[in-house]
Amino acid sequence: MGRIGILFLDNFSTKKLIKSNDLVFSIYGLGYVGLTLAAVWLRAGAKVIGVDVDASKVNEIMNLQHKFVEPEIEEAIKRGISEGKFLATLDGIAAAKESDVKIVTVPVYLKDGAPDLSAIRSVAEVISKGITRGDLVVVESSVPPGTTLFIGKIIEEMSGLKMEDDFGLGYSPERIYIGRGVRDIEERYPKIISGVGPKSTRALKALYEVVCKKGVLEASDPIVAELEKLFEGVYRDVNIALANELARLCSALGVDYNEVRKLANSQPFCHLHKPGAGVGGACIPVYPLFIKKAAEEVGEPLELVTLSRSVNLRQPKHISNLCVKATEILGLSKARVAILGLAFRGDIDDTRLSPTYSIINCLLNSIRNCDVIVHDPYVAYDRILLDMNISLTQNLHEALKSRNIVVIATNHTIYSNLTLREIMQTTESKKVAIIDAHNIIKDWKKPPKGCVYVGSGRPWVINI
């Protein structure tokens, strides 16, 4: 048996161990999800070892120089370090040896359009070198169906231990919204769990019941739980595609999509989403491709999922086309474009797969004489923009000055508070076109003299 043998304990004993600081968690991957989970378990009373392959990140966290996205996370990590209950390390094998529960949160990316399980495999191999009898392994990463068992088989082969008999294994999808993750886990959503057998499921249930006020929902099989998480993202992708298409129709018909949406959603069976610049992040654009890969393997075509992904991939081009039309309306010989927002979603700094990158590429390919600058209040440095030779600033005045095309690409709160007059005055240009990809400008119906406005779900309003 391992340090404590959590797999073989009853619910009461597990809860008692957490609250008495005797249970040790190792968390593999210290991204948004990993740090959120670390904070949650620290707040519950456990000891936590965070593992990451990025030495600079580990050093930043231990020196409290990391940019934590939530005050609850920063506070928990800070207190954990001071009390000797938290350690960030590069040594995953030592972490596995010293912990009772190993949580996997490393991402699964795409390689040549297919899921890349190399990081998952690497973590499984590391854990197998430190796991002992009675330990529990929990996968929280969003993964293609069947990945949990894939991890289990690697651990079995390398450690000589058997799933369910010697070590516990299960899947529990993370269900957090960046910026409020701690509260999502502790207060907002029920936790979904599924073990590879009854002992694993019982151990998972006992753990998460300690921290999840909304309770725990048991899936009958890890594949069910894995699919549940992916289906959440696919649902969003399909409905965003629908919103983007209906928004374009509203614009062409000369009406405001926001108004139509509000009225339609007064019916409880209708839940129209908001349009935007596209779909970004490491989740929603990726999950449909996980599902498609699994569907291909069993011969099930997913036509709607495929089409929706295509619609959302084209949305940045649609925004770029609006810019092209704006240059024609204004009669510009040179387009000086300010793109407001690099993060894929409002009020965060996450730029992974952001539609802004695609908008920039489309603009540079569509407008012969085009100069672009990007503003984001949350992003101070970006390697991709640097390689593209595109300027990035956190100074809004600097971004807007002398610009004649302004694209609101991210729905940061700071942009929703802007007026057309403020934008135009800051540019100091006589003619300015404002392309509002998220329909967040409030005074859009009354543009000042020299201003052209269009939203992704609103008609053109021209005052030149």
| Block residue for tokens 């569509």 | 366
Distance in angstroms (rounded) separating the CA atoms of residues 401 and 385: 20
Distance in angstroms (rounded) separating the CA atoms of residues 456 and 407: 11
Structure tokens at 44: 């519950």
Task: Using pLDDT thresholds of 50, 70 and 90, give the confidence band for residue 201.
Answer: very high
Residue 193 is assigned to a structural domain of this protein = yes
Residue 389 exposed, middle or buried by CB count within 10 Å (0-12, 13-18, 19+): exposed
Among candidate residues 311, 313, 312, 337, the one with its CA nearest the CA of residue 324:
337
Taking the CA of residue 251 as centre, how many other CA atoms within 13 Å lie in the half-sphere pointing to its CB?
Answer: 23
Mean pLDDT, the chain, integer: 94
Do 119 and 20 share a domain, yes or no?
Answer: yes
Confidence (pLDDT) at 17:
83
Q: What is the pLDDT of residues 421-464, one digit of tens each?
A: 999 999 999 999 999 999 999 999 999 999 999 999 999 999 99
CB-based contacts of 277: which residues, under 8 Å, 6+ apart?
315, 316, 319, 341, 355, 356, 359, 409, 410, 437, 438, 456
Do 63 and 212 share a domain, yes or no?
Answer: yes
Q: What is the pLDDT of residues 294-340, one digit of tens each?
A: 999 999 999 999 999 999 999 999 999 999 999 999 999 999 999 99
Do 198 and 325 share a domain, yes or no?
Answer: no
Q: What is the pLDDT of residues 70-104, one digit of tens each?
A: 999 999 999 999 999 999 999 999 999 999 999 99
Do 319 and 197 share a domain, yes or no?
Answer: no
Q: What is the dihedral of CA 156, 160, 165, 166, to 10 degrees?
A: -100
Decide if 315 contacts 322 (C-beta within 8 A).
no
Backbone angles phi, psi at 327, to 5 degrees: -65, -35
Do 198 and 327 share a domain, yes or no?
Answer: no
Do 197 and 339 share a domain, yes or no?
Answer: no
Question: How large is the average pLDDT for residues 255-263?
Answer: 97
CB-based contacts of 71: which residues, under 8 Å, 6+ apart?
none
Distance in angstroms (rounded) separating the CA atoms of residues 176 and 188: 9
How large is the C-alpha radius of gyration of the chain? 25
Q: Tell whether the model's pLDDT for residue 130 goes beyond 90.
A: yes
Question: How large is the average pLDDT for residues 144-166?
Answer: 97
DSSP helix/strand/coil, 87: strand
By annotation, the residues acting in catalysis are: 229, 283
Residue 252 is assigned to a structural domain of this protein = no
Task: Using pLDDT thresholds of 50, 70 and 90, give the confidence band for residue 179.
Answer: confident
Q: What is the pLDDT of residues 11-21, one digit of tens each?
A: 777 778 877 77
CB-based contacts of 429: which residues, under 8 Å, 6+ apart?
402, 403, 404, 450
Q: In what order do the strands lie in the sheet with 391-393?
A: 391-393, 370-375, 335-340, 405-408, 432-436, 451-455, 461-463
Q: Tell whether the model's pLDDT for residue 2 goes beyond 70.
A: no
Among candidate residues 137, 96, 120, 155, the one with its CA nearest the CA of residue 29:
120
Do 197 and 321 share a domain, yes or no?
Answer: no
Residue 432 is assigned to a structural domain of this protein = yes
Question: How large is the average pLDDT for residues 124-148?
Answer: 97
Taking the CA of residue 148 as centre, how many other CA atoms within 13 Å lie in the half-sphere pointing to its CB?
Answer: 29
Residue 249 is assigned to a structural domain of this protein = no
104 forms beta bridges with 28, 139
Residue 269 is assigned to a structural domain of this protein = no
Residue 324 is assigned to a structural domain of this protein = yes
Q: Tell me which of 166, 200, 220 is where a domain ends.
A: 220
CATH code assigned at 144: 3.40.50.720
Do 199 and 337 share a domain, yes or no?
Answer: no
DSSP 460: -
Decide if 122 contacts 150 (C-beta within 8 A).
no
Per-residue DSSP letters for 319-344? HHHHHHHHHHHHT-SSEEEEEE--SS
Q: Tell whether the model's pLDDT for residue 3 goes beyond 80.
A: no
CB-based contacts of 128: which residues, under 8 Å, 6+ apart?
154, 155, 157, 158, 159
State the residue range of the domain holding 385: 309-463
Q: Tell me which of 220, 242, 269 is where a domain ends.
A: 220
DSSP helix/strand/coil, 363: helix
For the chain, the domain total comes to 2
Distance in angstroms (rounded) separating the CA atoms of residues 413 and 418: 9
Confidence (pLDDT) at 282:
87
Q: What is the pLDDT of residues 328-380, one digit of tens each?
A: 999 999 999 999 999 999 999 999 999 999 999 999 999 989 999 999 999 99
Distance in angstroms (rounded) separating the CA atoms of residues 149 and 312: 32
DSSP 173: -
Residue 304 is assigned to a structural domain of this protein = no
| The model scores a pTM over 0.95 | no
Do 328 and 180 share a domain, yes or no?
Answer: no
Residue 255 is assigned to a structural domain of this protein = no
